[in-house]
Amino acid sequence: MIKSLFSDDLPRSVVLSVILGVILVCLALAPFLFPGVRTVDTAARICIFIVLVASYDLLLGYGGIVSFAHTMFFGVGAYGVALALTHMGRGFDAIVVGALSGAVVSAVLALVIGLFSLRVRAIFFAMITLAVASAVAVLVSQMSGLTGGEDGLTFKTPRALTPAFKFGGELFGVKLNGKLLAYYFVFFGALVLFLLMLRVVNSPFGRVLQAIRENDFRAEAIGYRVVYYRVAATCLSAAAAALAGSLYAVWLRYVGPDTTLSMEIMIDILLMVVIGGMGTMYGAVIGATLFVVAQNYLQNLMGAAAGLVEGVPLLPDLLNADRWLLWLGVLFILSVYFFPTGVVGRLRAGR
Amino acid sequence: MTDPILSTRDLTVRFGGHVAVDAVTCDFHAGELTAIVGPNGAGKTTYFNLISGQIPATGGSVSLRGRDIAGMSVSQRTRAGIGRAFQLTNLFPNLSVLENLRLVVQSKSGKGFNLFSMASRHSELTEAAEAVLARVRLLEQAGQTVSELSHGDQRKLEVALLIALDPAVYMFDEPTAGMSVDEAPVVLDLIAELKAQSDRTILLVEHKMDVIARLADRIIVLHNGALAADGDPATVMASDVVQEAYMGKELTDV
Closest residue of chain A to B111, computed from CA coordinates: A204
Question: Residue A347 corresponds to which amino acid?
Answer: L
A13: left (phi over 0), alpha (psi -120 to 50) or beta: beta
Please state, in angstroms and rounded to a whole number, the distance separating the CA atoms of residues A117 and A140.
23
CB A193 within 8 A of CB A244: yes
Q: Which residues pair with B76 in a beta bridge?
A: none
Q: Tell me whether strands B226-231 and B67-68 are parallel, antiparallel or unpaired.
A: unpaired
Q: Between B78, B99, B102, which is nearest A223 by CB?
A: B78
Residue-wise pLDDT for B107-126, tens only, equals 988 888 888 888 888 888 99
CA atoms lying within 13 Å on the CB side of residue A154: 1
* Distance from the first to the final alpha carbon of chain B: 29
B contacts of A209 (beta carbons < 8 Å) = none
CB A74 within 8 A of CB A287: no
Closest residue of chain B to A232, computed from CA coordinates: B113
Question: Is B251 a residue whose pLDDT tops 60?
Answer: no
**CA-based max dimension of chain B:** 66
Residue B114 in contact with partner chain A when CB distance is under 8 A: yes
Q: What is the mean pLDDT of each run of 10 residues along chain A (351 residues)?
A: 80 88 93 88 95 95 91 94 90 91 95 84 84 91 85 85 81 83 95 95 94 92 92 95 95 89 89 90 93 86 80 76 79 81 84 48
Residue A343 is part of which domain span? Answer: 2-349
B contacts of A211 (beta carbons < 8 Å) = 92, 95, 103
The DSSP secondary-structure symbol of B145 reads: B
Would you state the pLDDT for residue B253? 44
CB A169 within 8 A of CB A176: yes
Please report which confidence band the pLDDT of residue B249 belongs to, taking 50, 70 and 90 as the band edges: low
Residue A220 in contact with partner chain B when CB distance is under 8 A: yes
Q: Find the mean pLDDT for residues B215-233.
A: 89
CA angle B231, B232, B235 (to 5 degrees): 85
More confident residue, A258 or B164: B164
CA angle A281, A110, A208 (to 5 degrees): 45
Domains and CATH numbers, chain B: 6-247 (3.40.50.300)
Closest residue of chain A to B94, computed from CA coordinates: A214
Would you state the pLDDT for residue B248? 58
Number of neighbouring beta carbons within 10 Å of residue A227: 18
CATH number for A165:
1.10.3470
Would you state the pLDDT for residue B254? 40
Give me the total of CB pairs closer than 8 Å, taking one residue from chain A and one from chain B.
98
**Domain tally, chain A:** 1
Q: Between A4, A205, A223, which is nearest B114 by CB?
A: A205
* Distance from the first to the final alpha carbon of chain A: 25
Compute φ and ψ for A204, nearest 5 degrees.
Answer: -55, -35
Q: Between B91, B95, B106, which is nearest A204 by CB?
A: B106
Helix ranges (H only) for A143-177 are: 144-147
Would you state the pLDDT for residue B130? 93
Q: Coil, strand, or helix at residue B6?
A: strand
Distance from CA of A345 to the nearest CA of B (A): 13
> Chain B, 166-225: which have a CB under 8 Å from a chain A CB?
none
Which H helix or E strand runs over B228? strand B226-231
More confident residue, B197 or A60: A60
Helix ranges (H only) for A6-121 are: 14-28, 30-33, 37-57, 70-88, 92-117
Q: Minimal CA–CA distance to A122: which of A233, A268, A204, A205?
A: A233
Please report which confidence band the pLDDT of residue B17 belongs to, taking 50, 70 and 90 as the band edges: confident
Instruction: Indicate which of A8, A10, A207, A217 best probes the interface with B, i.e. most B CBs within 10 Å of its own CB.
Output: A207
Closest residue of chain A to B108, computed from CA coordinates: A223
Cβ distance A222 to B165 less than 8 Å, yes or no, reads: yes
Residue-wise pLDDT for B34-58, tens only, equals 999 888 888 899 999 999 999 999 9
Please report which confidence band the pLDDT of residue B247 belongs to, taking 50, 70 and 90 as the band edges: low
Distance from CA of A101 to the nearest CA of B (A): 21
